Amino acid sequence: MEKERTNKKRTASGVMPSRRQFLQSGSCLGVAGLGFSAQPPAAADPQVRAATGGTPSQGSILLENREFSLRISQNGRAESLIHKPTSQECLMQGTNTPMFVLTQYRPYNNELQLRFPAKKRSFPAKSVEQQGNRLRIRFELLDLVLTLNTKITDTYVAFQVEKIEQDLTGVLRPGRHYPADELWIAQLPVKTRANFGEWLNVMWDDQVAVNLLGTDPYAHIESEERPGYWLMQAGTADEVKHEGVGAALIVCKTSELMNRIDRIEQDYGLPRGVESRKRPEYPYSYFWVSDVNPKNIDEYIKFAKQGGFRTFTLYYTTFAKYPGHFPFRDDYPNGMVDLKGIIKKIHDAGMLAGLHFHYNKTFGMDPYITPKPDPRLNLRRTYTLSAPLSADDSVIEVEENPRGCREHSAENYLRMEDELISYGDYTTERPYRFTGCKRGIFGTQAKTHASGLRLGLLGEVAGVIGVFDQRTTIQEEMSQRLAGIYDEAGFDYAYFDGAEDVPPPYWFNVSWAQWLTYKAFKNKPLFSEGACKSHFSWHILTRGNAFDVFEPEVLKAAVKEHPGDEAPRIAKDFTGLDFGWTGYVVPTAQKIGTQPDMLEYNTNRAAAWDCPFSFRPRLGELAAHPRTADNMEVVRRWEEVRVRRWLTPAQKEQLRNLDQEHILLINEKGEFELIPYWEIKQAAGGNPLVHAFVFERQSRVYVVFWHRLSDGRLRIPVAKSAVRLMRDLGKDQLPIEQSGQEIIVPIGNRAYLEFTGKSRNDVIKALQSSSL
């Protein structure tokens, strides 16, 4: 069984043994194209052999530029990939990996379907013929020929599908033309190096980078880890597009990779993902609001500036009732005029304005939903009505089995002509029925329907009713409308939310919907984030993603588990991520609420990777939280660190230790100082209202402490002469009372205790023995 599984895996990836070797005799034709030769020049020279991966096979093809050479055997195997400046061989030798593979979902040729089972089968290349700047590839057992155009520049080599055609030469009995369901136009067994970026499809270390990059949104980019190498793949799919689809190969010094990708982005008209990542605003965190309006914008801006934010994000629901047609809310009585006024105030405050939006779906009472559902909404499944349906019926009988329709999610909606229906349950044995149906929902009209009518299940796996069918014009239509709002209002950057809500194939539709929206913007976003990504999204979503809000009680653990784990991974794709979203919770006697140490941990872990974090408060929470001033000061300091690029590589490395917390101080000279610190467990005898952390600097021990809810007095068993109380280090020494063997210090906002002649253990014990 294990051997069978292995064989299936090898066949699916196109690495399968030849059934027959139909290799053409003679040399390749038309080798005069730029950068091509039938075999490496001066192949007998040992130095040349060393630089081209050994002795080439007879009739091999060499594609090369000033940075690398790719040698392809006459039977379509990538034999060698040499980075010329370092003479490093980048391919794993001996894998016999076909560079070109054609896959059919079952054998279509009459003789082949008689020979093989009806299952997915991959046919590797059997020969490659060079004709100028074209490669003509034939595949084992098939009469299909793939023609690839090649483009060689100083910095990359590109492959593009020109056509797939049937060649009946020598065929005993001509058959009908049949499709190529999938193609790999480049499969390369790239040796494993220190880093592999799965999103960008790049292998790299501190010397060399190998990147197989799609040159358009239709390219299917994949990878698979193998022993000692990664199989890097670029291909096409018939259900999306074959002709005109391409990919580019880059092999260069790692320090030059972004410049090489930038060149491709310019040459192929792609979003300028490299340029965005180089912007000085790239690491800035943002202040995110979902209930701003013309009446409260000034108050929100005040808090944003208190936190030192340079970017301010509006969730679209703050001004629009729902996505799709984006009608303005009642608290925007002047519509666009009000929205433009808010953006102007953000700009006047010295901040960039961002728009967080849904772009590939709709819901609620949008005109795409009601009074007549738009026929371009995606139907995840379709069914045939097996019995007439009256306007009052609550049971719908269908021919097909509803098994798998989810019973307890937002997906329990059906569309039947112009009527929307919700169902409660269904049967999975004949007679198949949807039961507990509510007719004419969302303002649609319940009607009679004849037997034989087709009906469909709305939405997609994420559970949204109004997911768009990406094959229709609805996505472009909404993208144009959204871009009109974005451009007219004057937004600067974007968050593409809900990218998971697209129909399959996900590798294509996830980024396709983003691409259609991005293209519609006249003023391209300075940078963008998004929820779900595929390969082409790298050019659009230049700051990765944000994880959803976690409660304060688990915030640090969630940062470790999610963004803290993702940051080193996405860094391999030369990208940062958003260490948010971070909510803001008011503390109570029972709930800890958002505290300064939590924000300190979250935002400094982000800074360790040159990443932003996002802060999502509400005015009521900001006003009611007793430690808002302290929380905003923590954020302000770290935003200043980002702007100044203050952290050294060594400090970043310290912060990447997720188990050691740090505090950013402003010292006696008014300068930043980064210090590790530790929470004092069971401070004040375990009183949850007292928060205290200990650290050491300049041969002394310090405690930073505060009260969760209000103000109080903390009794500490230590001599007054050994302690100094400060609101800020070296400033504003505060009075301390002596009461017998104890001191009494006020506790409220964050303050510092400096201890003289005490060890860290002494100080911890003293704080644990204190009382509130």
- In tens, the pLDDT along 247-280 reads 999 999 999 999 999 999 999 999 999 999 999 9
What residues contact 2, with CB distance under 8 A and at least 6 apart?
none
Cα angle: 35, vertex 36, 38; to 5 degrees: 155
What mean pLDDT comes out for the span 9-25? 36
Q: For the segment 536-588, what is each residue's pLDDT rounded down to a tens digit? A: 999 999 998 889 999 999 999 999 999 999 999 999 999 999 998 999 999 99
Q: Is 547 among the domain residues?
A: no
Q: Kindly state the helix (H) or strand (E) to which residue 306 belongs, with its residue range.
A: helix 297-306
| pLDDT tier, 110 (very low <50, low <70, confident <90, very high otherwise) | confident
| Cα–Cα distance measured from residue 519 to residue 524, given in angstroms and rounded to the nearest whole number | 8
Report whether pLDDT(397) > 90. yes
Mean pLDDT (the chain, rounded): 91
pLDDT given for residue 647 in this prediction = 98
Statement: residue 22 has pLDDT above 50 = no
DSSP at 408: S
- At 127, which CATH number? 2.70.98
Closest CA to 492 of 261, 336, 310, 271: 310
* Residue 85 within a domain: yes
Q: What is each CA distance from 167 to 77, 144, 741, in whole angstroms?
A: 22, 6, 99
Where do we find the tokens 């009680």? 553
Average pLDDT over residues 219-225: 98
Residue 407 lies in a domain: yes
Let me know whether 254 and 142 are in one domain: yes
CA distance 332 to 487: 18
The percentage of residues in the chain with a pLDDT greater than 90, rounded to a whole number, is 85
Q: What is the pLDDT of residues 282-297, one digit of tens each?
A: 999 999 999 999 999 9
Q: Are 680 and 566 contained in the same domain?
A: no
Q: What is the pLDDT of residue 9?
A: 39
Give the rounded distance of the alpha carbon of 75 from its chain centre: 38
Comparing 105 with 13, the larger pLDDT belongs to 105
What whole-number distance in Å separates Cα of residue 614 and Cα of residue 574?
A: 20
Q: What is the pLDDT of residue 167?
A: 87
**How confident is the model at residue 39, as a pLDDT?**
32
**Does residue 161 share a domain with residue 43?**
yes
Do residues 131 and 67 share a domain? yes
The answer to whether 244 and 161 have CB atoms below 8 angstroms apart is yes
What would the pLDDT profile of 68-100 be if each residue is shown by its tens digit?
999 999 999 999 999 999 999 999 999 999 999
Q: How confident is the model at residue 222 (pLDDT cuts 50, 70, 90)?
A: very high
Mean pLDDT of 458-483: 88
Q: What is the pTM of this model?
A: 0.90
Q: What is the mean pLDDT of residues 737-742?
A: 92
Query: Among 344, 327, 177, 193, which residue's Cα sits nearest to residue 254?
Result: 193
- pLDDT at position 37 is 31
Compute the distance between CA of residue 586 and CA of residue 122 in angstroms, rounded to an integer.
59
pLDDT above 80 (res 15): no
* Region 208-219 average pLDDT: 98
Instruction: Let me know whether 264 and 305 are in one domain.
Output: no
The pLDDT, as a whole number, for residue 59 is: 83
Pairing of strands 361-362, 413-416: unpaired
For residue 14, name the pLDDT band (cuts at 50, 70, 90): very low
Question: What CATH number is attached to the domain comprising 529?
Answer: 3.20.20.70
Residue 364 CB partners (closer than 8 Å, separation 6+):
321, 322
DSSP 8-state code for residue 499: T
* Higher-confidence position of 110 and 192: 192
Give how many domains the chain has, as a whole number: 5
3-state secondary structure of 715: strand
Spatial contact of 448 and 388, defined as CB atoms under 8 Å apart: yes
pLDDT at 27 over 70: no
| pLDDT at residue 331 in the model | 96
Do 115 and 63 meet the contact criterion of CB atoms below 8 Å apart? no
Distance between CA atoms of residues 172 and 43, nearest Å? 40
Q: Is the dihedral of CA 119, 122, 126, 128 positive or negative?
A: positive
Same domain, 354 and 205: no
Do 27 and 130 form a contact (C-beta atoms < 8 A)?
no
Domain identity same for 433 and 500? no
How much is the pLDDT for 385? 98
Nearest to 20 by CA among 118, 120, 124, 98: 124
* Choice between 429 and 178, residue whose per-residue pLDDT is larger: 429
Domain end marker among 405, 438, 458 = 458
In a domain, 592, yes or no: yes
pLDDT of residue 278: 97
What's the average model confidence in pLDDT over 298-304?
A: 98
The pairing of strands 208-214 and 220-226 is unpaired
Residues 150, 89 share a domain:
yes
pLDDT tier at 314, thresholds 50, 70, 90 = very high
pLDDT at 398 over 50: yes
pLDDT band, residue 409 (cuts 50/70/90): low
Co-location of 110 and 171 in the same domain: yes
CA distance 612 to 599: 12
Report residue 115: phi and psi, to 5°: -90, -35
pLDDT band with cut points at 50, 70 and 90 for residue 19: very low
Distance, CA of 323 to CA of 465 (rounded, Å)? 12
Distance (Å, rounded) from C-alpha 517 to C-alpha 525?
11
In this prediction, residue 54 carries a pLDDT of 53
- As a whole number, mean pLDDT of residues 757-768 equals 97
- pLDDT on residue 176: 74
Which of 616, 632, 659 is a domain's end point?
A: 659
Inter-axis angle of helices 596-607 and 628-644, nearest 10? 10
pLDDT over threshold 90, residue 391: yes
Helices vs strands, H then E, count in the chain: 16, 43
Q: Where in the sequence is the domain holding 581, given as residue range(s)?
A: 552-659
pLDDT of residue 173: 67
The label of the residue with tokens 């666009």 reads: 336
Using only the alpha carbons of the chain, give its radius of gyration.
32
The pLDDT of 680-696, averaged and rounded, is 97
The two three-digit tokens of residue 410, written as one number: 């937002």
Bridge partners for 225 per DSSP: 230
Q: Which residues does 376 contact at the CB level (< 8 Å), separation at least 6? A: 468, 469, 472, 473, 474
Instruction: With a cut of 60, say whether residue 190 has pLDDT above it.
Output: yes
Dihedral angle, C-alpha 674, 676, 682, 688, nearest 10 °: 40
Assigned domain for 14 exists:
no
Residue 360: C-alpha distances to residues 95, 240, 547, 732 (Å) = 42, 18, 20, 55
Q: Is 205 found in the same domain as 121?
A: yes
Claim to verify: residue 572 and residue 619 sit in the same structural domain: yes
Mean of pLDDT values over 144-173: 91
Taking alpha carbons only, the member of 354, 738, 669 closest to residue 542 is: 354
Residues 589 and 520 in one domain: no
Instruction: Tell me the CATH number at 714.
Output: 2.60.40.1180
C-alpha–C-alpha distance, residues 413 and 459, integer Å: 8
Which of the residue ranges 457-461, 615-619, 662-666 would you say has the lowest mean pLDDT? 457-461
| Furthest C-alpha separation in the chain | 108
In which band, very low, low, confident or very high, does the pLDDT at 55 lie, cut at 50, 70 and 90?
low
